[in-house]
Structure 1
Amino acid sequence: MPYGLDFPQGATGRFTNGRTFVDILAQLLGFPNYIPPYARVRGRALLRGANYASGAAGIRDETGNNLGDHMPMNQQVGNFGRSVEELRRLFRGDNSTLNAYLSKCILYSGLGSNDYLNNYFMTDYYSTHSQYTPQEYASALLQDYCQQLSELYKLGGRKVIVTAIGQIGCIPYQLARYDGNGSRCNEEINDAIQLFNSGLKRLVIHFNKVLPGAKFVFLDSFESSKDLVLNAKTYGM
């Protein structure tokens, strides 16, 4: 698929035509190039960052299986752990220096949308919708996500940006499947993900209170995408 098609070199595999949030953040921080994928980064190149993301990935391991092979969050955390061990060798086993280095790194984690789009609300492929109420499903996701983010902290991550799920009930993919009598959004989906987002915000606050040195930041992409929908003309849409 032509994802990343607007890049000069052609399609890159990104889930947008152009740059992602992380691409833009890297540019603003002065990186000369985009953060490369983990599969191509080894040795000293890790000091310039790595992208562990995987298309269709979710918090739950089975999420996105309908779209083929991918690396769920548990595997991404495992890959980060392998990177830390490789960095430990580069730092010649000096854990103090390594931990100081890792504490300055910025980690960006934006997950959850696939757990709804390609799991909970894909009832012809997954059974989670019949197993959980929206509140129960949000709680189950948050429990798993808490463990995953806690593991990132144990591995040395201290500065972590955690994003809410945007208004995925308003994206074209959902609207094409939704008979909403002219409604611009599927509010059943938006209401469900707000249960997750509210819990995620509380989780971030909790981490900052109980984890020494932690600087977790909650990025409310739901409200920003809501503004985009309500004020589309302002953004040239």
Structure 2
Amino acid sequence: MEMSYYYFNRVVLVVCSIVVVSLSCFVAGDNGNLGASFIFGDSLVDAGNNNYLQTLSKANIKPNGIDFKATGGNPTGRYTNGRTIGDIVGEELGAPGYAVPFLAPNATGKTILNGVNYASGGGGILNATGRIFVNRIGMDVQVDYFNITRKQLDKLLGASKAREYIMKKSFFSITIGANDFLNNYLLPVLSIGARITESPDAFVDDMINHLKAQLTRLYRLDARKFVVGNVGPIGCIPYQKTINQLKENECVELSNKLALQYNGRLKDLLTQLNENLPGSTFVNANVYDLVMELIVNYDKYGFTTSSRACCGNGGQFAGIVPCGPTSSMCQNRDKHVFWDPYHPSEASNLIIAKQLLDGEKKYISPVNLRQLRDL
């Protein structure tokens, strides 16, 4: 379902969980009481954690955030031109603000009662994923960080109330997995050895087994309401189209095949967890089909292109050089499905957010986000 503007031996460093949609949001009950949104994942969910790391994966430079009204168009570390899906959903449900990045200085005290963001551009399910960026926060460490927050909540609310707050009023959203393919298994040169020694089936098994352990750890820390996004059509992003010299209506077959293979296993895993972890609700967000719908039928939604990045440089689809101060930028950002070579625009996020909030089971199941909130 996370842009770096640095280069390593003249190879553009691809960052984050491309086109995997941020599923993070605040939870607002009908009575006005707000729960917390605990956000885990990669760059499409990262709201600034990587700003505090010595890493090659950052999005804290212009024109990122140019349409983010909360900062007057200044970058925050979000890897898009405006709001993430989580920001939009939170506003729809009446949230007073956005989940604070765990590494931010103000992630203390009562601020954490609205939620905490642990996500990191370049992060993945597997610990080896994203190592080309030097520093990033993988999913295992993100869960470790939540354990710290969990103890802080006990001190703020008392053990009993903290447990109830987490179990009944809080969302846990997980948007991760694409980096494990694009910045690990499929990474040019660096991953050749891994692909020789490990089949796609074995690699996907490894991902699923690690994710199962990570989600189970969160459950044992009292998480109950989970939203888990699958991996989007990573073979259709402008970067992949550009470097493979594809036509507008073509996508990289292998990348999408791997995503679909993982997505099938993820669906089975979430069904298993729903059955085996009492009191839990694991929601499967089918962002692969959501994003593919925008890519294939872009004109139906008012877009003029789903192939060319609004902000970027290089090749037919501006998909080689990441978005930064020297990049070309389209005049109408609302007409592009993709903001940069890797991430959706705010206009796309608005459309996807509606489906996550109120969509049918083909996109989000067994319940949508409004229904999950009210459980």
Percent of aligned pairs with the same amino acid: 34
Deviations 1:76-108 (A, max 9, x none): 10000100011111223x3x3221110120011
- Listed as ranges, the gaps of 5+ residues in structure 2 are 1-60, 304-375
1:35 touches 1:49 (CA, 8 Å); kept in 2? yes
Which secondary structure state, in structure 2, belongs to the residue aligned with residue 50 of structure 1? strand
Moved more, 129-138 or 70-79: 129-138
Is 1:109–2:170 an aligned residue pair? no
Moved more, 13-22 or 110-119: 13-22
Deviations 1:12-38 (A, max 9, x none): 111211111211121122112222211
Find the counterpart in structure 2 of residue 6 from structure 1.
67
Find the counterpart in structure 2 of residue 121 from structure 1.
186
Q: Distance in 2 between matches of 1:25 and 1:181?
A: 34
Structure with higher helix content: 1
Which structure has more RCO (C-alpha within 8 Å, separation ≥ 6)?
2
Superposed displacement of residue 229, structure 1: 1.4
Find the counterpart in structure 2 of residue 57 from structure 1.
123
Deviations 1:114-173 (A, max 9, x none): 111111110312333222222211111001011011111111110010000111100011
Is 1:143–2:184 an aligned residue pair? no
Superposed displacement of residue 181, structure 1: 6.5
Q: Distance in 1 between matches of 2:73 and 2:100?
A: 15
Instruction: List structure 1 segments (4+ residues) > 3 angstroms apart after TM superposition.
Output: 179-183
Q: Distance in 2 between matches of 1:177 and 1:136?
A: 27
Q: Distance in 2 between matches of 1:5 and 1:217?
A: 32
Q: Distance in 1 between matches of 2:279 and 2:173?
A: 17
Q: 2:100 aligns with which of 36, 39, 49?
A: 36
Give the paired residue count. 235
Q: Report the residue type matching 1:27 in the other structure.
A: E
Which secondary structure state, in structure 2, belongs to the residue aligned with residue 39 of structure 1? coil
Counterparts of 1:159-174 in structure 2 under 5 Å?
Answer: 159-174=225-240
Q: Distance in 2 between matches of 1:10 and 1:141?
A: 36
Q: TM-score, normalised by structure 2?
A: 0.60
CA RMSD of aligned residues (A): 1.5
2:65 touches 2:73 (CA, 8 Å); kept in 1? no
Is 1:21–2:82 an aligned residue pair? no
- Listed as ranges, the gaps of 5+ residues in structure 1 are none
Q: TM-score, normalised by structure 1?
A: 0.94
Q: Distance in 2 between matches of 1:84 and 1:10?
A: 31
Superposed displacement of residue 182, structure 1: 6.6
Q: Distance in 1 between matches of 2:133 and 2:91?
A: 31
